[in-house]
Amino acid sequence: MSKIDIQNLSVTYEERGDLFTALSDVSFSVNDGEFVSVIGSSGCGKSTLLSVLEGLRTPTSGTVLIDGKPLTGTGLDRGVVFQQYSLFPWMTARGNVAFGIKQTRKGFTHKQRLEIADEYLEKVGLSEASNRYPSRLSGGMQQRVAIARALAMDTDILLMDEPFGAVDAKNRVILQELLLRLWQNEQKHKTVVFITHDIDEAIFLSDRVIMFTESPGTVSKDISVPFPRPRERAALLHSPDYADFRSNLTTLFFDTEAKIGETEEDWVVI
Amino acid sequence: MNIKKRFAKISHLLFVTVCLIHLIPNKTVKPDEFLYTLGFAVIVEIGLIAVCAAAKKPSTMNLPCDIAAFLYSLLIVWTLATSKFSLLKEMLFPPPGVVFKQLITDIPQLLPHIGSSLALVGKGYALALVIAVPLGLILGTAVRAGSAATYVSKFIGAIPPVVYIPYGIALLPSFRAVSVMVIFLASFWPILAATMSGVLYIEKRIVDSARVLNVGKFETLCKIILPASLPQIFTGMGQGLTVSFILLTSAEMIGARSGMGYYVKNYSDLGNYTRTIVGVLVIGIVISLVFFLFNKLQKFALRWR
Ligand SMILES: Nc1ncnc2c1ncn2[C@@H]1O[C@H](COP(=O)(O)OP(=O)(O)OP(=O)(O)O)[C@@H](O)[C@H]1O
Ligand SMILES: [Mg+2]
């Protein structure tokens, strides 16, 4: 049984009488412990898809099953990192993380929660900033705190919506490596749905890449990433297979934009 | 910073001027009056020198220097226009020293008035705060109730609360109760309106974050909605406090037997304008102190911004 099973999902927005189909007939599933990236151009409905998985939006039609059970709303089995910075500005970095822990992991005292929070802030390299408020942190640091919060909540599923979208290129690489290291080091891998529009990021991080067409968004390609884990960035980037795979993926990406619905039989296509 | 940068200021020059104009002979004979003016100026000057000596960077000295310069200029003009050249009617415009002397001798008499005024404002304002903030949070969260309440509070809030005083006098047993009621009404609407608009403008991402964390209804209200709208609430609280003092002094002037407003009204009725000016000064000082504390509280509560 897959961890997340999305069946014939459609979302239609209504705005002042106008209907706009953001997602149409999306179906795919994610296995337990799998890291799946969803990639597509801006406006193709990636955030919409994630808001359904988060339980913030009810789909117009279709179902989402988590562990075989229909999803009904927000739940503490899913940790979320939003596209925009989403820390509570009146809580310090450790206050934010501790608040997340309080929601999902019962039976800890306030002091123990702060200790766990500090532990996770150390993992994301923010020990010295733990008493600072989000307004005193850079965008990249805030996103690290959000990641620490999501990880510290110790949920089975992690939903991430372009978490590094607003971070500069150098910090983006650092954060990708951090996320991958933290994910790989967990005894039991979390199931991750990771939204991005960056092909390199998708390949580096994920087991599978799901491509979306534009308007209305739907799954156009579902591709396994063949590189073994644990992955190391420098080695991966320099391997000849990587260049091949990347160029194939890029071609596919731009092809799907051009001619929707045509099936290419490629070695990477399942 | 060198000595010159630290102490070469117009303010000190003005202080010297304040002292020197007392060499001009008085038109009116008030033997010890100038001592009080000088005493006041010396206290201000000592404070200013202390601030300048302790300042770490030049910009921290600007505000104290400007305030002192303003006070000295006022003293110079006031002294010249009264005791030195008698340009103003002495009964209506007593010289500064006479006012300071009266202020000092009246302190024991003034303290109960100040206490009485602060007690009225404290009661009315606190009552408004503990009702308006929770109500605003709840109404702001409930979409339909919120929009109706916005119109209602705009309508009622637009009525100047002074007009409730006569009705309150008919309605309530004591004049103190009337004062508390109008202060309550005056501060209630701005706080309620600000709280509701604070809730209304909470960013969606904050609400979404709380929802995915499955924060309970009551906890969301206390730990998410309240702090998120706190900046707006404080704006409303500031407005409420301002109108509270306007209402307080108006009410005290209309019918009270104590309070700072009563002190001013009483002595101006008696034609004692020295004490009238003392009362006005005291009201200014007390309200400034209250707002100073209020701003400190606001800064602390919103230190995360
Ligand atoms: N609340 C809404 N009401 C109406 N239309 C919406 C709403 N939210 C999103 N849309 C529309 O749905 C489409 C998909 O939006 P979505 O935010 O899911 O895109 P996205 O793939 O996440 O884009 P990006 O990469 O820029 O974040 C867009 O065309 C957008 O205009
Ligand atoms: Mg998006």
Q: Is A95 left (phi over 0), alpha (psi -120 to 50) or beta?
A: alpha
Q: What is the pLDDT of residue B148?
A: 84
Q: What is the pLDDT of residue A261?
A: 46
Task: Name the token pair of A204.
Answer: 């580096």
How do residues A127-147 score in pLDDT, each as one tens digit? 999 999 999 999 889 999 999
Segment A8-36 mean pLDDT: 94
Segment A81-85 mean pLDDT: 88
In single-letter form, the type of residue at position A156 comes to D
Res. B164: pLDDT tops 70: yes
Q: With cut-offs at 50, 70 and 90, classify the pLDDT of residue A257.
A: low
Nearest alpha-carbon partner for A76 in A102, A58, A103: A103
Res. A268: pLDDT tops 70: no
How do residues B201-253 score in pLDDT, each as one tens digit? 999 999 999 999 999 999 999 999 999 999 999 999 999 999 999 999 999 99
- Reduced to 3 states (helix: H, G, I; strand: E, B; else coil), residue A5 is strand
First to last CA, chain A: 19
Residue A264 lies in a domain: no
Residue A255 lies in a domain: no
From the list A74, A84, A88, which residue is nearest B214 (CB)?
A: A74
Q: What is the pLDDT of residue A122?
A: 93
Residue A54 lies in a domain: yes
Distance CA A222, CA A107 (A): 41
Q: What is the pLDDT of residue B150?
A: 83
- Reduced to 3 states (helix: H, G, I; strand: E, B; else coil), residue A231 is coil
Distance CA A30, CA A7 (A): 12
- The answer to whether A105 contacts chain B (CB < 8 Å) is no
Segment A209-237 mean pLDDT: 90
Residue A244 lies in a domain: no
CA distance B45 to chain A (A): 39
Is residue A220 within 8 Å of A213, Cβ to Cβ? yes
Q: What is the pLDDT of residue A256?
A: 63
Q: How many domains does chain A have?
A: 1
User: Under an 8 A CB cutoff, do B212 and A56 touch?
Assistant: yes
Could you list the residue range(s) of the whole structural domain that residue A43 is in?
2-226
Atom of ligand 1 nearest to the CA of A50: 18
- The answer to whether B225 contacts chain A (CB < 8 Å) is no
Residue A216 lies in a domain: yes
Structure ipTM: 0.87
Q: Report the separation in Å between the CA atom of B211 and the middle of ligand 2, taken as the mean of its atom positions.
A: 18
Segment A193-198 mean pLDDT: 93
- The answer to whether B217 contacts chain A (CB < 8 Å) is no
Instruction: Give the lowest-confidence range in A99-103, B200-204, B280-284.
Output: B200-204
- Find the CATH number of the domain harbouring A131: 3.40.50.300
Report residues whose beta carbon is within 6 angstroms of any ligand 1 atom. A 13, 15, 20, 22, 40, 42-48, 83, 197
Segment A58-76 mean pLDDT: 94
Scanning the structure block, which residue is given the tokens 């004049």? B175
Mean of pLDDT over chain B: 92
Res. B289: pLDDT tops 50: yes
> What would the DSSP string read from start to end of A1-59?
--SEEEEEEEEEEEETTEEEEEEEEEEEEE-TT-EEEEE--TTSSHHHHHHHHHTSS--
- Reduced to 3 states (helix: H, G, I; strand: E, B; else coil), residue A78 is strand
Res. B31: pLDDT tops 90: no
Q: With cut-offs at 50, 70 and 90, classify the pLDDT of residue A266.
A: very low
Segment B189-202 mean pLDDT: 93
Is residue A38 within 8 Å of A193, Cβ to Cβ? yes
Domain spans, chain B? 3-102, 107-301
Residue A88 lies in a domain: yes
In single-letter form, the type of residue at position B71 comes to L
> What would the DSSP string read from start to end of A157-178?
EEEEESTTTTS-HHHHHHHHHH
Scanning the structure block, which residue is given the tokens 């024991």? B108
Is residue A158 within 8 Å of A191, Cβ to Cβ? yes
Segment A186-212 mean pLDDT: 93
Pocket test for ligand 1, best of A9, A48, A199, A253 (most atoms within 8 A of CB): A48
Q: With cut-offs at 50, 70 and 90, classify the pLDDT of residue B136.
A: very high
Domain B107-301 = CATH 1.10.3720.10 = yes
DSSP code, position A128 = G
Q: What is the pLDDT of residue A267?
A: 44
Q: What is the pLDDT of residue B96?
A: 92
Q: With cut-offs at 50, 70 and 90, classify the pLDDT of residue A38.
A: very high
Nearest CA in chain A to B216: A103
**Stronger pLDDT, A256 or B282, i.e. the higher one:** B282
CA distance B63 to chain A (A): 27
Q: With cut-offs at 50, 70 and 90, classify the pLDDT of residue A265.
A: very low
pTM of the model: 0.88
Mean of pLDDT over chain A: 90
Q: What is the pLDDT of residue A53?
A: 97
Res. B265: pLDDT tops 80: yes
How do residues B73-106 score in pLDDT, each as one tens digit? 999 999 999 988 888 888 899 999 999 999 999 9
